[in-house]
Chains A and B, each alone.
Chain A
Amino acid sequence: KAGVTQTPRYLIKTRGQQVTLSCSPISGHRSVSWYQQTPGQGLQFLFEYFSETQRNKGNFPGRFSGRQFSNSRSEMNVSTLELGDSALYLCASSVDGGGVRNTEAFFGQGTRLTVV
């Protein structure tokens, strides 16, 4: 069974640009969550999507957005990039995001974004 796949693995962007990251969840998983990892803040929750709907959102500015497609694949977009957006972006998939029962979340390898 294939795991969670994130593309691309590495990305270098310039301040002010926008970026789109992609995540393909484990087959059968309908919940996709996104996290940002930085040395100073650790792993921070960005948002969660289930059946193409955003159900939960963390404390990040509106420049961070996402969407989910009917096949559960998800994309996250960051507009007007700032130097502080340099981080490892991780996506995690689970069966239902803990909506009804306890469920493990499985992570992809991450996308390392560097903003210069």
Chain B
Amino acid sequence: DQQVKQNSPSLSVQEGRISILNCDYTNSMFDYFLWYKKYPAEGPTFLISISSIKDKNEDGRFTVFLNKSAKHLSLHIVPSQPGDSAVYFCAASETGGTSYGKLTFGQGTILTVHP
């Protein structure tokens, strides 16, 4: 049972345009969502997060949108740069309860930004 899904295995965009990466989740107990960027054979790098009490969070070129009713979130990168090319993971967690320290990850989306 995959509780976090990234349905697009890959995305290709031109430099300077917007990149939109999508993520869906099924567990209504998730209340905190994170995006990570990852290069092969390295650890994920934290990009941006959003709490379920918000519907938008912005940090520089990165904006995350959360639609709780649809159980959907998206990461917007504007403008996209060739250095953004990497695998992007969406992750979700529950605060409190017994799910300590556990992030549930999607399968990742490979973003390629062409010069």
Contacts and interface: CB of A to CB of B under 8 A. Distances in A.
A47 to B, nearest CB: 8
A55 B99 CA distance: 8
A108 B43 contact: yes
Interface string A87-109: 01010101001111110111111
| Chain A interface mostly | strand
Contact of A98 (B41, B46, B100): B100
Interface residues of B, number: 29
Interface residues of A, number: 33
B102 interface: yes
Nearest to B47: A104
A74 to B, nearest CB: 11
Interface in A42-68: 42-43, 45, 48-50, 55-56, 58
A49 to B, nearest CB: 8
Interface of A: 4, 6, 31-33, 35, 42-43, 45, 48-50, 55-56, 58, 88, 90, 92, 94, 97-102, 104-110, 112
